[in-house]
Structure 1
């Protein structure tokens, strides 16, 4: 399955004369999703570890990492868009089987080339994080500390992007495990570096937020190097010769990646942006509100990484079936993934609703009682939107497998910014509900997006729809 010869000798994914069946699809999706989900958790664990270390120092460093981290993930949206577009392209190319090694190699190369202009543009944005935060009305001391963090963190951005592209390549081959093991080692490396540079391990003076940013950047570099080394050393993966003729730009594939990836980037920017805008709004209340928001957001983000991984698996499974021209396989892959993502988030919702104070206590020192109480309240609200957040993430991933990215962009604009933010601001300030009202607005926005995404998937894959020609055209 992992070599060129036996991959071509086997039937393409989704082409099963007897019908794969829902049980087989469930097993295939689970086998692909859990390493992807754990890999995503490892990504959030880098920032989460920063939060755990800095939360013990004080509210200002914690708030600075929260605001700086939000800007960082906003800046990453175009990079995510390009990487996810490449993942969808790679899955469909493998689904078509014929000459898939050559086609996949060219797509990886084109995606890596896109990283150069992306880093120049996005790195310039993060370098001036302080001015951006001041323009949004943040406290000058908080803005300055956040800029120190982003200027250290941004050097890991090109490494993370390269890692994301290679991870998409492995997902299309249904071999996600190497990315997981490399990410797990990066978490340990990040923790050691934080202990040395932030927590004054071995007597070194604390570098504060700068040390936190540098530790994450170094960990991202180690992740890319480790995954590239793994691919080069693997007998089957090395046959793709991904770095072969790397200097040759494939402009057609780059244009396709941009065309598919821009709406994805826009959707992610709108989603990340609404949470980041919420963090900025918290800064208008107080540093305590920002710190409480940071805890609730980190927990919600950690939970979100699982349906995000299921959504990535859905992109691969749907893309493989679409490339192979299997309409029934496309439908099964998407609905199985949506059910898995929704089921997991329903379980996390129960935890957050039943034990919010215990979760908040993991992040905040005992003497921060008021902040703990507010964080617990926001965690309960996060529990309410878990199900809709998971469903919309997986449905978006399934739609990416069909390269359907423009309508999800419109849904995100309407749900997050047309409804969620205005409702949150109205409840938070006009109604006087404070931070709680802002988070209730997030619940409303996510619910609308989840419903629209699911209806879109149902429309495109409903029985009897003549969609095979459309998917074949997109795949070709």
Structure 2
């Protein structure tokens, strides 16, 4: 029997609320890191920011790929196939280990990438010591993403919040200490920021790994010899994960490209981009937490062969996930100077130019943030239906052809500069969100009995 809307909203909240606060804690960790590095100067902030953007985008793509572990586990739970739950997790962790190490190698050679992408030589030189340390955070970040998806599917997200909050505190102490020499730690400058990230990420992953083992033992989930299977057993993970990773790559690549284009314009534009993205990540991760909850709830009802409940879970997720962040994103629009002061000392020579640009970009960001949240939830709801190929095409057209294409034209050909890039983001996200939401409703209705 289909649960009531109130019951389903409560179920979404049980999964989503800890994830939301955990994601907010992650954002706080990024913000505090930028604040600490920003005290070294605008150039240092730009160097660490673009290195983090490019490196973390690779991890985000992989975490998108392995988010389908949550779909497969949740579907198995709905179908009462307990013997499939742990093998799905183990397969995800094994594949994540191999891909995580590959990403580590890429990040260690990020200087070459930045040179090819035409970034300022001074920024590249400063970035080197940072990404050398940050590279060793890649593997635990990806592994943590797999375990987080498993926790969401098992409706055990409270510990994710707890350990993330502890990691925020640890990361700040390490960041402040290793960058500026506080707390009796050696002063390493921008290099210390990368090392602090790596230590913090390994701590967070190992703690969640221990908790996951505890959950498996407590619920007596079966894992017998041979259940992991050979290469064919990875088929569902790979075939669903690849297009999902493609969708995430399309979106994260869109923002990475915007960051690079901002860097080509100059350090003022790049620093402003870092600040605005740091702030608007707050309403986005609220939608992201709800989207993961909607995904596993839709997958659960698919496994239970209850299409009406699956449709309701996805639609409610979209409604709630758009309404809440919409209220929050309006705050900095009325106090734009507040955002700039968070990241940069007013005594910095570039402060005035950056603050003026940030004020204008925040207005545009308030508009597109609604559609960014909607497309994230609709995309995750479609993953719950195991639909990812067509959404990948929609994302490619919306993010890159329409979004980046129009943004590039407005920025460089119409002479609008950074605001032109951001208007392009708004247009592309609006197109993508509308089509993805429409597709979920179409597919969900098709599965209903006549």
Mapping of residues 385-464 of structure 1, within 5 Å: 385-462=368-445
3-state secondary structure, aligned to 2:180: coil
For 2:144 and 2:300, locate their aligned partners in 1 and report how far apart those are by CA, in whole Å.
22
Equivalent residue for 1:267?
247
For 2:78 and 2:144, locate their aligned partners in 1 and report how far apart those are by CA, in whole Å.
23
Among 240, 256, 268, the alignment partner of 1:288 is 268
Mapping of residues 32-43 of structure 1, within 5 Å: 32-43=15-26
**Structure 2 unaligned regions, length at least 5:** none
**Deviation string, structure 1 residues 198-220 (Cα, Å, up to 9, x no partner):** 12203544322221111111111
Mapped contact 1:389–1:450 kept (Cα < 8 A): yes
Equivalent residue for 2:359?
376
Equivalent residue for 2:110?
129
Mapping of residues 206-285 of structure 1, within 5 Å: 206-234=187-215, 237=218, 239-240=220-221, 250-285=230-265
For 1:204 and 1:31, locate their aligned partners in 2 and report how far apart those are by CA, in whole Å.
40
Query: How much has 1:427 moved relative to structure 2?
Result: 1.1
Range with bigger deviation, 401-410 or 372-381: 372-381
Instruction: Confirm or deny that 1:80 pairs with 2:63.
Output: yes
Instruction: Confirm or deny that 1:51 pairs with 2:45.
Output: no
Among 330, 333, 345, the alignment partner of 1:350 is 330
Query: How much has 1:78 moved relative to structure 2?
Result: 3.8
3-state secondary structure, aligned to 2:155: coil
3-state secondary structure, aligned to 1:240: coil
Query: How much has 1:151 moved relative to structure 2?
Result: 2.1
Query: How much has 1:258 moved relative to structure 2?
Result: 1.3
Equivalent residue for 1:168?
149
Query: How much has 1:349 moved relative to structure 2?
Result: 2.9
Query: How much has 1:284 moved relative to structure 2?
Result: 1.4
For 2:269 and 2:9, locate their aligned partners in 1 and report how far apart those are by CA, in whole Å.
42
Q: Aligned pairs, how many?
A: 447
Mapped contact 1:232–1:238 kept (Cα < 8 A): no
Equivalent residue for 1:365?
345
Mapped contact 1:411–1:449 kept (Cα < 8 A): yes
Mapped contact 1:364–1:372 kept (Cα < 8 A): no
Among 33, 46, 65, the alignment partner of 1:63 is 46
Among 307, 314, 333, the alignment partner of 2:287 is 307
**Deviation string, structure 1 residues 102-130 (Cα, Å, up to 9, x no partner):** 20100001001102320232122111111
* TM-score computed with the length of structure 2 as normaliser: 0.94
Among 307, 315, 318, the alignment partner of 1:335 is 315
Equivalent residue for 2:92?
111
**Deviation string, structure 1 residues 184-231 (Cα, Å, up to 9, x no partner):** 111111011012101220354432222111111111111111112223
* TM-score computed with the length of structure 1 as normaliser: 0.89
Query: How much has 1:232 moved relative to structure 2?
Result: 3.3
Equivalent residue for 1:25?
8
Mapped contact 2:101–2:139 kept (Cα < 8 A): no
Among 306, 313, 317, the alignment partner of 2:297 is 317
For 1:438 and 1:270, locate their aligned partners in 2 and report how far apart those are by CA, in whole Å.
16
CA RMSD of aligned residues (A): 2.0
For 2:179 and 2:92, locate their aligned partners in 1 and report how far apart those are by CA, in whole Å.
35
For 1:468 and 1:173, locate their aligned partners in 2 and report how far apart those are by CA, in whole Å.
28
Task: Quickly say closer, same or farther: Cα 1:355–1:170, change in 2 above 3 A.
Answer: same
Mapped contact 2:333–2:359 kept (Cα < 8 A): no
For 1:112 and 1:324, locate their aligned partners in 2 and report how far apart those are by CA, in whole Å.
26
Task: Quickly say closer, same or farther: Cα 1:94–1:146, change in 2 above 3 A.
Answer: same
Query: How much has 1:148 moved relative to structure 2?
Result: 2.6
Equivalent residue for 1:145?
126
3-state secondary structure, aligned to 2:386: coil
For 2:278 and 2:315, locate their aligned partners in 1 and report how far apart those are by CA, in whole Å.
28
